[in-house]
Structure 1
Amino acid sequence: MVFTYWLHQCLRTRGKEFSPPAEFFFIFFIVLFLGITVEVLQTLGSSRSPDMGDVVRNQLGCLLVYSFIARTGILARYWLRICVRFGVVSAILIAVWPLTRALIDEYLARQQFPVLADFETPFERYRWNHSDQLQTGSDIVRHGHRAARVQLSTNQYSGVALFYFPHDWRGFQTLHFSVYNPKKTPLMLNARIHDVHHKKHGLEYSDRYNQGFDIESGWNDLVIPLDKVAAAPKGRTMDMQHIEGFGLFVIQQPCAQVIYLDNVYLGPSPGK
């Protein structure tokens, strides 16, 4: 937005003679070129990857400014300017909705802590990756009024992982979560926990906490001692101030299956 306004003013101040359509397309494609360049440069020497969504948002910012400053050419007619402004503002509101949703849920997550996920608030499933495999409902619940239905596939690894949560787990002794198995046969469910330094150690299996649980039919209330989590990485101590992820997954199941997840929270040691 700022760059579009600045470039538009520069062209007018320096007396560059562009027709209104030519001026618009010149600015639009300059913004597009710079946006794509920035995304490509992010891949050099970092773990970030290009995001076309950022490029689209750049162009929306360009269109927003131009729809308000243009008075001639393709936007000379008042009714056309109003329609374009309405369309651009509507597109921007749609584009910023994920950010708005994330900010609301981050506030709620901090209010709920040490509860990490209880699925009682509207946006909790977006704290998890593969959120499309996770739906909240009230039919099978361990605590409160809602729980998460997790769809597991026949892929080699299938599950969900919690990534958006308060990361400082110091001062807590246990991680609790409840899993419901609707089938009569047990299911082997794997849990993993890693900290912010895990990538620096090559994402090695031995550099994180790993544990398998036999999930019996019905509800299973599971507990992970956090002292074992801290001691899990080989050759170092887990950074409990900067826990980055908690995942639950199965390994190459013969058929697709559903489990239910509820009441994920940090707590004191058992019996306290």
Structure 2
Amino acid sequence: MALNLNRAQWSLLALIPIASLFFIGGPNATVLPWLRYAWNLGHIGFFFVATSSICVALPKFSRERPWQYLAIIAVASLAIETIQLGIGRNFSLLDIARNLTGASLALALLLKTALPKPALLISLVFLLFDASKFTQVAINDWSYQHRGPLIENFETDQFMALWPKHIERSQDLVFEGSYAGLVHLKTGKFSGINISPVLRNWSGYQAVHLAIFNSQNYSRAITIRLHDVAHELSPQNYSDRFNKTFDLLPGWNSLSISLDEIKSAPKNRPMDTSKMHQIGLFYSNLESDDYLFIDDIRLEP
């Protein structure tokens, strides 16, 4: 027997499978920052459509009790974010704000004067804020991915948001220019730093260069790990990436790794140097807190 549903009810029904994306699916670990941000903006669209459908299906409730409706959205959003935290995702106050913004804009559009002006004003301000942040992320992402052959030299803080929190720009010791990256290291089996996503496309170059400062007065071994998008999405077997240990002399060390060597590192396939994902540097079995400087990470023609 066919369901006798109006357009609003069909819209709500169609949103059920989309709502499952709050808990499953979504961008994988390799997507660039602008795409991840764009995905998060989908919260606004989802709650705008859901609220629009509810306004048509339940006009009296949404018109007479807009604040109560927004309170329900806030509680539901808090529950969604709490569940996400419990299943290994992130709890995001920004996503809660996006949900309320989408709902408020729909109420304002469909109910006209029923939604108090402060709620509409707050929603519009947040929408402009979120759109401006997305634009900033997109511009930074585009700039970073188009600045090859340079990967990082720390001369500007524009891209430091891509790096982990235990690295900072420093003028204390530099290999070239005015700044280097200072990495604070804690004791442990593996002590170092990973950056991802890096400059994606390394194809067309011959080598990758980086400078590393050994803070000790004796030679020590450091491991460099490089892998592509395919490895990140795989079981990440040791034999499927580039791993090589280098002996660092005291002070600055200038290292150059052939792209041919990187391509041939995986055992059963060539590394896709047009879709690189991560650079990692680490000491093994560090017995005391330490530091290292890195600088002049670039591709060589």
TM-score range, shorter chain: 0.7 to 0.9
Aligned equivalent of 1:110 = 145
Verify the 8 A CA contact 1:4 1:31 in the aligned structure 2: no
Q: How far did 1:72 drift?
A: 4.3
Aligned equivalent of 2:161 = 126
Superposed CA deviations along residues 246-268 of structure 1, whole A, max 9, x for unmatched, are 11112230011111111101103
Query: What secondary structure sits across from 2:165 in the alignment?
Result: helix
Q: Does 1:240 align with 2:273?
A: yes
Count the aligned residue pairs.
Answer: 254
Q: How does 1:80-229 map to 2 (within 5 A)?
A: 81-82=117-118, 84=119, 87-88=122-123, 99-128=134-163, 131-199=164-232, 201-229=234-262
Verify the 8 A CA contact 1:118 1:264 in the aligned structure 2: yes
Q: How far did 1:210 drift?
A: 0.6
Q: Which amino acid aligns with 1:17?
A: K
Verify the 8 A CA contact 1:7 1:27 in the aligned structure 2: no
Structure 1 unaligned spans of 5+:
42-47, 76-80
Alpha-carbon separation, structure 1, partners of 2:72 and 2:271 = 48
Verify the 8 A CA contact 1:35 1:55 in the aligned structure 2: no
Which stretch shifts more, 190-199 or 12-21? 12-21
Alpha-carbon separation, structure 2, partners of 1:150 and 1:242 = 26
Q: Does 1:58 align with 2:98?
A: yes
1:16 pairs with one of 41, 59, 62: 59
Query: What secondary structure sits across from 2:60 in the alignment?
Result: coil
Q: How far did 1:19 drift?
A: 7.2
TM-score of the superposition, structure 1-length normalised?
Answer: 0.76
Which stretch shifts more, 209-218 or 87-96? 87-96
Q: How far did 1:87 drift?
A: 4.8
Superposed CA deviations along residues 55-95 of structure 1, whole A, max 9, x for unmatched, are 4253242365268556447x3xxxxx34x556555655666
Query: What secondary structure sits across from 1:223 in the alignment?
Result: strand
CA RMSD, 1 decimal: 3.5
Verify the 8 A CA contact 1:31 1:62 in the aligned structure 2: no
Alpha-carbon separation, structure 2, partners of 1:72 and 1:201 = 52
Alpha-carbon separation, structure 2, partners of 1:13 and 1:67 = 11
Q: How far did 1:110 drift?
A: 3.2
Superposed CA deviations along residues 2-56 of structure 1, whole A, max 9, x for unmatched, are 4544555555555632276744433553586489769979xxxxxx963332742
Structure 2 unaligned spans of 5+:
1-43
Q: Does 1:25 align with 2:68?
A: yes
Q: Which amino acid aligns with 1:18?
A: F
Query: What secondary structure sits across from 1:26 in the alignment?
Result: helix
Q: How far did 1:224 drift?
A: 0.9
Q: How far did 1:100 drift?
A: 4.5
TM-score of the superposition, structure 2-length normalised?
Answer: 0.70
Larger helix percent:
2
Verify the 8 A CA contact 1:186 1:217 in the aligned structure 2: yes
Query: What secondary structure sits across from 1:185 in the alignment?
Result: coil
